[in-house]
């Protein structure tokens, strides 16, 4: 229990009792007060002199912070008195922060919070024992038990507990700790403040109106940004400059490579002095060597606006039945061709010996990109044997934007018809149909009316091998004609990893976002497939095929023949080991209903569909974690004890002959 009394033993008046703190935050110490003097000044406030049972300097500072909280006021140090005297351990004079400590310069206006308040507090911790070891000779009878003296001049010329005053209070240490934890969890200053406000509203809806007005409990957005920069500047170094570059190499890359036990990241300066970082994490290296799809097809895309320096992030992924899987990340300071070339060459030095499914530095058979000239030229320079295809979606999007650009003068009612000419060429079934669609386009009166559009589609037609789907038959693109896997990965990077906020600097982007969170995200997605709980949005799902088992006949070790459901005279040939079908959808190795029927009726494993056997899921587990020792024996067993017959299971593998022939066809087409 606290004691507040004057010299005559009379209980102290309410104004002083209401503003004094009763105990410390952890309630391990209760404050006891003895009031020496109290004088009321009616409406202008009061003055008081009291002593407290506080004996150390740190405890006195703690009491001062708790007094500011209990009285809902903010104090600034007005003067620090010397402590050389043998009777004083600590002494400071504080002023209300609504009072100007120094006079404003002539010609400048005062701050909006400056009311000229003259409230003042003097805090003195007196020595109970002198430096010579003797007891203090101070005449105050309470000095031994209450050595701290407080002289308070409570003469505020402003109202204290209203929003106009509370909005200037300092954020409390508890509030700063909450914000710091939210920042470390990946929140931006704006999102952290939003979460803090939501928690305050949920915890006590009745008091939220008052709490949200108090800056010590609910700070403003500017404070959140300043705290954000202060925290990450300390953790990751300066926001830019040579020290920031040194922090990338010493604090992030070196430490990560040491923890991983291998070289997973490197940083170099380009020939023009640009910063280039290559990343191939352990999970990415396992995708290179264990996922055979990485030798067939790779998607590449870039994004910017990820940090405050305009860095570009290039992401390489491959296709799988579990969704797109990352193969590498390149961070550069620009998107110039020479910079991308050096970034790809740097990535080659980090990738494992069996990179790209065993192709090594030759790269994959096919790249699918958007129509970025610098990116495509850089890929051709580093991987000359690979075929560079253009994303069909990006091509059609570019045509549509060209038609809607007002400077080209295309009338609105002609745009759709002109667009369909290019669309017909994109989806034509063979090269002859592409040529026929082009001839139809250039002879259309609407096209003749716009010479600029005619020249535009002529330039497109010259590059038809890279965007027309008729020229992709026989290529192992697994029915992927767009760069959607890379687009989805960029959405993951910005939404789930960056959480729609910019990184503080390059070290934070590399450490906090790419190395820590990015790999963890894909590990969780792979484990969801391993545990047979895939998410539909990132897994290629399929509907149950209506093809009966009687319509399927086995013609070889891994080959089958399926009768068409629409034309009984038509038959499709399927090779489940290669994962191809003679139908339009499966001719490039994509999943089709005929392969699905074989998987359903014959229990054959296929890399085009979600893994059904324990062996397939064990491979994904190894890619995700690096080993299978962290799960108990029998973890992959099916719900029923009967396993598929061994002779009906065709393991997914690369067909060397088909792949080589496919690669040869690619070179001819290129």
Structure token digits, residue 536: 């539909």
Supply the pLDDT for residue 8. Answer: 47
Average pLDDT, the chain: 84
| 3 state DSSP class of 631 | coil
The length of the chain, given as a count of residues:
670
Q: In whole angstroms, what is the distance from residue 463 CA to residue 392 CA?
A: 13
Mean pLDDT of 587-606: 88
CA-nearest of 44, 59, 654, 639 to 359 is 654
List the helix and strand counts (H, then E) for the chain. Answer: 24, 17
Q: In whole angstroms, what is the distance from residue 238 CA to residue 506 CA?
A: 10
- Range in 117-126, 130-139, 476-485 the model is least confident about: 130-139
First and final C-alpha spacing in the chain: 88
Place of tokens 């990751």: 236
Supply the pLDDT for residue 416. Answer: 94
Buried b (16+ CB within 10 A) or exposed e, 237-265: bebeeeebbebbeebbbeebeeeeeeebb
Q: In whole angstroms, what is the distance from residue 91 CA to residue 110 CA?
A: 29
Q: In whole angstroms, what is the distance from residue 268 CA to residue 253 CA?
A: 12
Could you tell me the CA-to-CA distances from 267 to 239, 287, 506 in Å, in that order?
A: 18, 22, 12
CA-nearest of 522, 510, 627, 626 to 255 is 510
What confidence tens digit (pLDDT) does each residue in 153-212 have? 999 989 888 888 889 999 999 999 999 988 877 777 888 899 999 999 999 888 899 889
Could you tell me the CA-to-CA distances from 192 to 179, 231, 536 in Å, in that order?
A: 6, 14, 30
Task: Annotate 301-316 with three-state secondary structure.
Answer: EEECCCECCCCEEEEE
What confidence tens digit (pLDDT) does each residue in 570-582 have? 999 999 988 899 9
Domains of the chain, by residue range, sit at 14-159, 173-236, 242-391+482-520, 393-472, 542-609+638-669
Task: Let me know if 289 is exposed, middle or buried by CB neighbors in 10 A (0-12, 13-18, 19+).
Answer: middle
How far is residue 412 CA from its own chain's centroid? Answer: 41
What confidence tens digit (pLDDT) does each residue in 619-660 have? 999 999 988 777 888 888 877 765 544 444 444 443 333 333
Q: In whole angstroms, what is the distance from residue 478 CA to residue 122 CA?
A: 78
Which sign, positive or negative, has the C-alpha torsion 598, 600, 602, 603?
A: positive
Mean pLDDT of 515-531: 87
- Range in 124-133, 464-473, 489-498, 550-559 the model is least confident about: 124-133
Residue 152 has pLDDT above 90, yes or no: yes
Could you tell me the CA-to-CA distances from 226 to 56, 85, 204, 232, 501 in Å, in that order?
A: 32, 39, 27, 10, 15
Residue 238 has pLDDT above 90, yes or no: no
Which sign, positive or negative, has the C-alpha torsion 493, 496, 501, 507?
A: negative
Q: In sequence order, what E strands does 84-227 have? A: 88-96, 120-126, 148-154
Q: In whole angstroms, what is the distance from residue 305 CA to residue 611 CA?
A: 37
Place of tokens 């300092």: 170
Place of tokens 């995700």: 624
Q: How confident is the model at residue 113 (pLDDT cuts 50, 70, 90)?
A: confident
570 Cβ contact list (under 8 Å, min separation 6): 563, 564
Please give the share of the chain, as a percent, with pLDDT higher than 90: 45
Which sign, positive or negative, has the C-alpha torsion 548, 552, 554, 560?
A: negative
What confidence tens digit (pLDDT) does each residue in 445-485 have? 999 999 999 999 999 999 999 999 999 988 889 889 999 89
Structure token digits, residue 467: 């965007």
Could you tell me the CA-to-CA distances from 285 to 67, 262, 312 in Å, in that order?
A: 58, 11, 22
């Amino acid at each position: 229990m606290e004691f507040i009394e004057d010299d005559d033993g009379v209980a102290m008046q309410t104004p002083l009792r209401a503003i004094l703190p009763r105990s410390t935050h952890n309630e391990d110490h209760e404050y006891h007060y003895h009031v020496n003097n109290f004088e009321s000044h009616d409406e202008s406030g009061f003055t008081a002199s009291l002593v407290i049972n506080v004996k150390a300097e740190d405890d006195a500072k703690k009491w001062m912070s708790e007094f500011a909280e209990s009285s809902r006021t903010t104090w600034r140090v007005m003067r620090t008195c010397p402590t050389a005297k043998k009777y004083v351990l600590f002494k400071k004079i504080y002023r209300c922060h609504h009072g100007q400590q120094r006079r404003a310069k002539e010609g400048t206006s005062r701050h909006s919070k400056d009311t000229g308040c003259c409230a003042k507090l003097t805090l003195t911790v007196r020595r109970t024992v002198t430096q010579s070891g003797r007891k203090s000779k101070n005449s105050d009878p309470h000095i031994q038990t209450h050595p701290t003296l407080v002289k308070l001049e409570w003469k505020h010329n402003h109202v204290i507990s209203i929003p106009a005053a509370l909005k200037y209070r300092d954020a409390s240490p508890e509030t700063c700790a909450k914000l710091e934890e939210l920042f470390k969890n990946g929140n931006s200053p704006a999102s952290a403040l939003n979460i803090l406000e939501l928690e305050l509203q949920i915890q006590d809806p009745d008091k939220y109106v008052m709490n949200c007005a108090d800056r010590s409990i609910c700070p403003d957005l500017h404070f959140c940004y300043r705290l954000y920069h202060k925290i990450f500047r300390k953790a990751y170094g300066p926001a830019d400059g040579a020290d920031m570059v040194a922090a990338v190499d010493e604090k992030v890359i070196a430490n990560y490579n040491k923890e991983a036990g291998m070289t997973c990241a490197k940083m170099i300066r380009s020939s023009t002095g640009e910063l280039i970082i290559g990343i191939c994490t352990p999970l990415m290296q396992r995708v290179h060597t264990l996922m055979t799809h990485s030798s067939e097809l790779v998607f590449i895309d870039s994004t910017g606006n990820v940090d405050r320096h305009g860095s570009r992030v290039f992401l390489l992924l491959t296709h799988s039945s579990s969704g797109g899987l990352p193969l590498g990340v390149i961070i550069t300071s620009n998107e110039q061709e020479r910079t991308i070339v050096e970034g790809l060459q740097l990535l080659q030095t980090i990738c494992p010996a069996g990179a790209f499914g065993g192709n090594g530095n030759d790269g994959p058979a096919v790249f699918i990109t958007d129509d970025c000239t610098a990116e495509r030229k850089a890929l051709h320079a580093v991987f000359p044997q690979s075929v560079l295809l253009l994303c069909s979606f990006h091509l059609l999007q570019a045509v549509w934007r060209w038609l809607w650009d007002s400077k080209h003068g295309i009338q609105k009612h002609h745009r759709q018809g002109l667009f369909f000419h290019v669309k017909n060429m994109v989806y034509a079934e063979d090269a002859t149909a592409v040529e026929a669609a082009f001839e139809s386009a250039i002879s259309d009166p609407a096209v003749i009316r716009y010479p600029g559009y005619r020249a535009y589609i002529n330039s497109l037609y010259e590059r038809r091998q890279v965007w027309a789907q008729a020229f992709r038959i026989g290529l192992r693109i697994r029915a992927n004609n767009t760069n959607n896997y890379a687009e989805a990965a960029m959405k993951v990077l910005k939404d789930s990893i960056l959480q729609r906020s910019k990184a503080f600097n390059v070290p934070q982007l590399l450490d906090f976002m790419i190395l820590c969170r990015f790999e963890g995200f894909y590990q969780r997605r792979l484990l969801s497939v391993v545990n047979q709980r895939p998410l539909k949005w990132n897994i290629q799902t399929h509907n149950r095929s209506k093809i009966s088992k009687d319509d399927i006949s086995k013609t070889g070790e891994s080959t089958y023949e399926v009768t068409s459901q629409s034309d009984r005279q038509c038959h499709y040939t399927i090779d489940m080991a290669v994962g191809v079908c003679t139908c339009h959808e499966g001719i490039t190795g994509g999943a089709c209903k005929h392969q699905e029927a074989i998987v359903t009726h014959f229990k054959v494993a296929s890399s085009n569909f979600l893994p059904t056997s324990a062996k397939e899921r064990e491979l994904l587990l190894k890619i995700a974690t690096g080993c299978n020792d962290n799960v108990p024996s029998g973890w992959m067993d099916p719900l029923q004890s009967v396993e598929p017959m061994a002779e009906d299971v065709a393991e997914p593998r690369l067909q060397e002959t088909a792949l080589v022939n496919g690669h040869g066809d690619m070179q001819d087409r290129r």
